[in-house]
Amino acid sequence: MPRPIANEPSAAAAPPSIGKIFTAFALIGISSFGGGLVAYLRDVVVDREQWLSKDEFLGALEIGQTLPGLNSTNVAIIVGRKLRGPRGATAAALGLILPGVAVLIILGLLYVRFHNNPDVAAALAGVAAAAVGLLLQVTLKIGGRSFLRPKDLMFIIPTFLMVGVFHVSLAATLFLLAPIAIWLNRPESLKKKAPAPSSDPEP
Amino acid sequence: MKELIELLNVFAMLSLMAVGGGTAVIPQMEHETVAVHQWVSSTQFASIYSLGQLAPGPNMSMVGIIGYHAAGAAGFFLVLFAFYFPACMLTYVVSHIWDSYRDNPWRDAVQRGLAPITIGLMLAGVYAVGKTASFNLDRPLWFNGVTLGFGLAIVLLLFWKRINPAILILACGAIGWFVLR
């Protein structure tokens, strides 16, 4: 029987069962063709099941985007944990991932078997060319006005060159650039301590 | 066995380096799996990546197919585990203690600082897949014209209208079947 546990239940109601969590996320995992998973997650978690309020969901998304890993699986982990602790998080993540994995097992086996067939190779060339367009569109959409801001280009271009062209390892690139980028965006309170152009007296 | 350990190393590392989402690790993944370990060819990488866009759910589960190419069924599941588990674990633990940092001003600094780096990585991902799939000097010029045209058409279509990208990808596959040979 589902029994309320003390892991930050978001509402007064008893948290959903593990099976219910798995099913809800598996439905997203199986129906979300073409990306944009966060929107699907929001629909189910906030609107349909009302497990999280709008603000709680935005909070979860903020964490999910800041931490490494896929935004969608990170959000699933956070929502699952809030509902049912470790087992809830596991059920949510597996629910989200497994349907796609099942589809990919089939696609993968077909690919391994037929990728040398000229018909299939021609279709795959089209599919791959389309995937590049999709990735570029997402990049331009997320990048938006960053591509016009010198302060952002100062990091976009070196990152692109280091990782994309010169194959500097991702770890090295992140450790070199991220501290500078984060420092340049440091909290205002710390900026005041730095020598400012105004006539602040030395501390 | 050695191959499995290499797969584990590469994909667990990528898992923890995926700042701002899975697409950020595509350039590094392409380099590691094609040039360094030669688990797949660059054409295979591009195809496998695009198969991932056709499946529902997180669009990075296609990493399993790379694992399959390298080490069979065991490789498939090991790579999925290595790619998802470390980041999920980290999120689980950190989101637990997150509330105490909710108002920490550094959180905003991290988010805003990493944003342009993520964009640079995504751009590098476009280049990593595009140099094989969109503009490939081993192919005739007309072929490159068609593949570049597909990409540009999709960019424009998606900015113009909200269309499910999976449909566009399938459409390009269907046209490719007749044209790209």
Provide the pLDDT for residue A2.
Answer: 44
pLDDT at A1: 40
What's the mean pLDDT in A74-98? Answer: 96
- pLDDT band at B44; cut points 50, 70, 90: very high
Residues A35, A100 within the same domain: yes
Domain end among A114, A147, A171: A114
Regarding whether A82 and A148 lie in a shared domain, the answer is no
A201 in a domain, yes or no? no
Whether residue A110 is found in the same domain as residue A135:
no
- Say if residue A61 is in the same domain as residue A127: no
Domain that holds residue A53: 18-114
Residue A8 lies in a domain: no
d(CA A119, CA A167): 34
Which of B:20-79 have CB within 8 Å of A? 20-23, 25-28, 31, 35, 43-44, 46-62, 64-65, 68-69, 76
* C-alpha B41, offset from chain centre: 15
Q: Across chain B, what does the average pLDDT equal?
A: 92
For residues A91 and A84, is the Cβ–Cβ distance under 8 A? yes
Instruction: Quickly state the pLDDT bin for A9 (edges 50, 70, 90).
Output: very low
Q: Is residue A154 part of a domain?
A: yes
Q: For A14-73, how does the pLDDT look when each residue is reduced to its tens digit (9 = 90+)?
A: 889 999 999 999 999 999 887 788 989 999 999 999 999 999 998 899 888 889 999 999
Report if residue A84 sits inside a domain: yes
- C-alpha B67/C-alpha A54 separation (Å) is 38
Confidence bin at A195 (pLDDT 50/70/90)? low
SS3 of residue A42 by DSSP: helix
Q: Are residues A106 and A147 in the same domain?
A: no
The answer to whether residues A131 and A108 belong to one domain is: no
A200 in any annotated domain = no
Considering only CB atoms, A134 lies closest to which of B16, B94, B165, namely B165
Domain boundaries in chain B?
2-133, 135-181
Q: Are A153 and A147 in contact (CB under 8 A)?
A: yes
| A169 and A128 in a common domain | yes
Quote the minimal CA–CA distance from B168 to chain A in Å: 7
What is the model's pLDDT at position A182?
93
The Cα–Cα gap between B67 and B76 comes to 4
The pLDDT of residue B105: 84
Residue percentage of chain B with pLDDT more than 90: 78
A85 inside domain: yes
CB B10 within 8 A of CB B37: yes
Q: Which of A29-43, A162-176, B92-106 has the lowest mean pLDDT?
A: B92-106
Cα separation of B84 and B76, whole Å?
13
Q: Token pair for residue A6? A: 């003390």
Q: Of the residues A81, A114, A147, which one is the last residue of a structural domain?
A: A114
Task: Choose one of A114, A133, A149: the last residue of a domain.
Answer: A114
Contacts of A25 in chain B (CB under 8 A): none
Contact with chain B for residue A113, Cβ under 8 A: no
| Per-chain mean pLDDT for chain A | 87
Q: Looking at the structure, do residues A22 and A91 belong to the same domain, yes or no?
A: yes
Q: What share of residues in chain B are helix, strand, coil (percent, to 5)?
A: 80, 0, 20
In this structure, are A170 and A98 located in the same domain? Answer: no
Closest CA–CA distance from residue B9 to any residue of chain A (Å) = 13
Residue for token pair 């909290």: A187
- To probe the interface with A, which of B91, B132, B139, B157 has the most A CB atoms within 10 Å? B91
Chain B residues with CB under 8 Å of A167 CB are 31, 35
Structural domain count of chain A: 2
Question: What DSSP designation does B135 have?
Answer: -
- Are both A77 and A123 inside the same structural domain? no
ipTM of the complex: 0.92
Alpha carbon distance A90, A131 (integer Å):
30
Q: Tens digit of pLDDT for each residue in A122-143?
A: 999 999 999 999 999 999 998 9
Residue A59's nearest CA partner among B95, B16, B85 is B95
Helix (H) and strand (E) counts in chain B:
7, 0
